Structure 1
Amino acid sequence: MIPHCLLLENENTKQVVEILKEIGYTFERVNDFEDIAQKLDEGKFHFLIFHVNDLENKIEQKKLSEFTTDFPHTLIILITDTSQWDLTASLLKRHSVYDFIQTPVDLDHLKFTLDRSFQYLLTKLKSQFINDAENNLYKRMVEIFDWKKSISNKENENIAADIIHQMNINLFQGSGIGTLMSVVSILISKSKLDQDEKSYSIQKPVMDLLSENYEAAKSMFDSMSISQSIIDDEELVTKKLSPSKLLPIIEKEIEILTEALSIKNQKVNFSQMPISASGKKIRLDETKLSYVIREVLINAIKYSKEKDIIYLIFFQKENFLELKVINPAYQNDDGSTGIPEKFESFVFEPFFRISSVVDDSYAKFEHFRFGLGLPLVKKIMDQHQANVQIYNIENNFRNENTKDICLTIRFPLFDEEK
């Protein structure tokens, strides 16, 4: 995953802008210290970066401490120099900032610092959620399911309980193998041997049920094949195409999902490509991106309600193209709403589910199953060297005091070759 940064821009940080562009990290800018809190509140950033000279007095330093309290999942990186070392050391000691970079800023040093800090952040988020009793199992599971190889037989016993649980949910709840087995049982018991004892007669309702669940089971095995191909594929996407190529992919997937949308009378509205993105390119594999669009749309459809509208909105910001998929957030079984903050990174982990309830209505449209949908989305976006996040946002579309779920994909932009 590519870290997403918020940069307080001034003369002292202009060099950082160019380096962030060069190393391909996505970022947004603010020009005033007073605007930082609002920007952090509007989006999700892994890092806040600014120069020590922006902390001119105790007021800014107090606000800095408030940032660390109000936005604990955003690490503060300070650009500093030897003349301000006393202040820098004090901020580090008080944990107001996580790390610092000394001027003149070096590309390799900046990248190393951000990469190291990002790994700390991910580890911190995981350790906050997973208790000690589960920690060893979780780490072992991540080691095994690291997308670099298929799960080997000798390792299976370590995560057997998790896999069996997911197989039970996906294979034997709703239509598919479970119902198919039941229908076969009915077929055997209800079919009648004719007088010549050369053939059996089958009632039409039983045959219809058998055909329906055969198709569901076949769809499940097809999804297994696609998932396996994604898991085993380690190639980075290098092909660069115009961002406009995303539009026909989205249009095709919406058309395919017409029946799924009709189940709850839902609609999908999507914006056109920003004019500012013309003349740019993104890394784009059409087949893999179609899997991503299908999965994020199916998720939005599943977790939305009757007559809800799902929005797909493009933005061009700084050095990246942003696609936001937005749908209403509703209360979960545990009383939380949408994607609780503590789960924002875990929904991209294999086998993780906020709810264990399977909505069978959409099974035939899905490419990915077994709790692997968003993990495989993340895998594909990693291959595009792009970023994907999911989180709750304040509702700005429906004029109601509610929240929405926002899945955000950020593609680094490249200039077209002349």
Structure 2
Amino acid sequence: MIPHSLLLESKNTKPIAELLKEIVYTFERVNDLEEIAEKLEEGKFHFLIFHANDIENERDQKKLSEFTINFPHTLIILITDTSQWGLTASLLKRHSVYDFIQTPVDQDHLKFTLDRSFLYLSTKLKSQFINDAENNLYKRMVEIFDWKKSISNKENENIAADIIHQMNINLFQGSGIGTLMSVVSILISKSKLDQDEKNYSIPKPVMDLLSENYEAAKSMFDSMSVSQSIIDDQEQVNKKESPTKLLPIIERELDFLNEALSIKNQKINLSQIPISATGKKIRLDETKISYAIREVLINAIKYSKDQDIIYLLFFQKENFLELKVINPAYQNDDGSSGIPEKFESLVFEPFFRISSVVDDSYAKFEQFRFGLGLPLVKKIMDQHLANVQIYNIENNFKNENTKDICLTIRFPLLEEEK
């Protein structure tokens, strides 16, 4: 989405209009401060841009404060110069403007400021929307799912069928052991014995294919090792840390997944942790939480489409810190969308998949496979005495009338020890 601005036109903002055209950002003009409220009522503007020299009297500055209160979904950007630092500081302090740009304004600086502000605005609006939507739609009791009982409650023959099915999908479809076996077969048939019958020569394309699929198979076995270590670990996490420790963990995982995001030119917007939660503690094992964060992000990336934005939003609700991972919901093979209600608990059961399609594009980023990703995330959350849920939510954000998938992790907040 391209930011759309409302520009208070004057001789001072004429250069801004030209720069907006150059960076191909859409905008509309108003000639008078009195027209602004009427235009903002249309609800289609991300920014109101004006020059400090055009609002020097107290009456006009008061109007800015009214715009901020009445139109919180539009950010006010101030163009200023060194002669107006006092006014600029005052407007920033009173939150009448969101950000400022000092003249002379160049194209790169304008684009950077608007892009940064747009990122903040879209994350803020998504946070508000999700909060409201959950209050209206999602009022069910939080049920803690016992990962071990989910296995024992299944009939053995069903588990066996699921295991075989998932092994077939993961081992013999796409890159990995299945392709590795095929490449070995090709290698045997294409290799040539030299005249002395001591050495075989192998065509380079065959060797390249062998190396590539060896790495894929090795990654699969590494995944088995990590999965097994989590399955065998029954210890509750007792280490307590500030919730702010979650941010560097998430940022490291985002750095690791940059290449995965680039495959479909996707973005992830990360909000800040509510200040009210920063003085408390949560149970936190950094390694295990890293595993869980990567898995839920990979899922969101895989099941989103080109240029989608994935949101990571923090909320404090009563004595819980919530981390929500939100991505658009799309149609499944059976015609359903996202996570149908009947599958909301099933997705945390071992070997369950809504879709059996294998996407090799993300194989090298995955730690958990064989339909164990979300069950292992659930196991890790159980060890933190935390809860994880996933469900669809109606998305009426900007009147889109679609669905989002919302995965929510809820950490109990603990008081600081005196």
TM above 0.5, yes or no, is yes
How many Å separate the matches in 2 of 1:184 and 1:332?
35
| 1:365 matches 2:365 | yes
| 1:42 matches 2:137 | yes
CA apart distance, 1:192: 1.2
The residue that corresponds to 1:394 in the other structure is 394
Closer, same or farther: CA 224–235 of 1 in aligned 2, 3 Å = same
CA apart distance, 1:41: 3.1
Judge conservation of contact 1:240–1:284 (CA < 8 Å) in 2.
yes
Per-residue deviation, residues 125-145 of structure 1 (Å, max 9, x unmatched): xxxxxxxxxxxxxx9972188
Structure 1 or 2, whichever has the larger Rg, is 2
The residue that corresponds to 1:142 in the other structure is 151
Written as runs of structure 1 = structure 2, the 5 A alignment for 1:266-277 is 266-277=266-277
CA apart distance, 1:372: 0.5
Written as runs of structure 1 = structure 2, the 5 A alignment for 1:341-360 is 341-360=341-360
How many Å separate the matches in 2 of 1:39 and 1:203?
58
How many Å separate the matches in 2 of 1:221 and 1:301?
23
Closer, same or farther: CA 144–206 of 1 in aligned 2, 3 Å = farther
The residue that corresponds to 2:227 in the other structure is 227
CA apart distance, 1:38: 7.8
Q: What letter corresponds to residue 251 of structure 1 in structure 2? A: E
CA apart distance, 1:333: 1.0
Written as runs of structure 1 = structure 2, the 5 A alignment for 1:241-320 is 241-320=241-320
Q: What letter corresponds to residue 315 of structure 1 in structure 2? A: F
Written as runs of structure 1 = structure 2, the 5 A alignment for 1:94-109 is none
Q: What letter corresponds to residue 340 of structure 1 in structure 2? A: P
Judge conservation of contact 1:283–1:384 (CA < 8 Å) in 2.
yes
SS in 2 for 1:300: helix
How many Å separate the matches in 2 of 1:39 and 1:271?
18
CA apart distance, 1:43: 2.5
Judge conservation of contact 1:281–1:414 (CA < 8 Å) in 2.
yes
Judge conservation of contact 2:312–2:324 (CA < 8 Å) in 1.
yes
Per-residue deviation, residues 107-129 of structure 1 (Å, max 9, x unmatched): xxxxxxxxxxx69xx89xxxxxx
How many Å separate the matches in 1 of 2:379 and 2:416?
26
Written as runs of structure 1 = structure 2, the 5 A alignment for 1:10-89 is 41-46=136-141
Closer, same or farther: CA 38–168 of 1 in aligned 2, 3 Å = closer
Judge conservation of contact 1:140–1:158 (CA < 8 Å) in 2.
no
TM-score (norm 2): 0.65
How many Å separate the matches in 1 of 2:275 and 2:379?
29
CA apart distance, 1:45: 2.4
The residue that corresponds to 1:417 in the other structure is 417
Judge conservation of contact 2:162–2:352 (CA < 8 Å) in 1.
no
Q: What letter corresponds to residue 377 of structure 2 in structure 1? A: V
Closer, same or farther: CA 218–182 of 1 in aligned 2, 3 Å = same
How many Å separate the matches in 1 of 2:381 and 2:308?
27
Range moving further from structure 2, 234-243 or 273-282:
273-282
CA apart distance, 1:42: 3.3
The residue that corresponds to 1:338 in the other structure is 338
How many Å separate the matches in 2 of 1:169 and 1:158?
16
SS in 2 for 1:392: strand
How many Å separate the matches in 2 of 1:409 and 1:160?
30
CA apart distance, 1:399: 4.5
SS in 1 for 2:218: helix
Closer, same or farther: CA 311–397 of 1 in aligned 2, 3 Å = farther
How many Å separate the matches in 1 of 2:151 and 2:178?
29
Closer, same or farther: CA 233–44 of 1 in aligned 2, 3 Å = farther
- Percent identical residues: 83
Written as runs of structure 1 = structure 2, the 5 A alignment for 1:150-161 is 159-161=159-161
Task: Provide the alpha-carbon RMSD of the alignment.
Answer: 2.3
Closer, same or farther: CA 189–301 of 1 in aligned 2, 3 Å = same
TM-score (norm 1): 0.65
Q: What letter corresponds to residue 317 of structure 1 in structure 2? A: K
Per-residue deviation, residues 51-103 of structure 1 (Å, max 9, x unmatched): xxxxxxxxxxxxxxxxxxxxxxxxxxxxxxxxxxxxxxxxxxxxxxxxxxxxx
Asked which structure has the greater RCO (Cα within 8 Å, sep 6+), the reply is: 1
The residue that corresponds to 1:204 in the other structure is 204
CA apart distance, 1:163: 1.1
The residue that corresponds to 1:217 in the other structure is 217
Structure 2 unaligned residues grouped into runs of 5+ = 1-131
How many Å separate the matches in 2 of 1:198 and 1:210?
22
CA apart distance, 1:364: 1.0
How many Å separate the matches in 1 of 2:255 and 2:287?
16
Structure 1 unaligned residues grouped into runs of 5+ = 1-36, 48-117, 124-138, 146-154
Q: What letter corresponds to residue 271 of structure 1 in structure 2? A: S
How many Å separate the matches in 2 of 1:306 and 1:324?
21
How many Å separate the matches in 2 of 1:174 and 1:279?
47
CA apart distance, 1:197: 1.7
Q: What letter corresponds to residue 43 of structure 1 in structure 2? A: Y
How many Å separate the matches in 1 of 2:367 and 2:149?
27
How many Å separate the matches in 2 of 1:158 and 1:301?
30
Closer, same or farther: CA 42–158 of 1 in aligned 2, 3 Å = closer
How many Å separate the matches in 2 of 1:210 and 1:312?
38
The residue that corresponds to 1:17 in the other structure is none
How many Å separate the matches in 2 of 1:194 and 1:262?
45
SS in 2 for 1:312: strand
CA apart distance, 1:161: 2.1
Range moving further from structure 2, 220-229 or 189-198:
189-198
| 1:168 matches 2:154 | no
SS in 2 for 1:247: helix
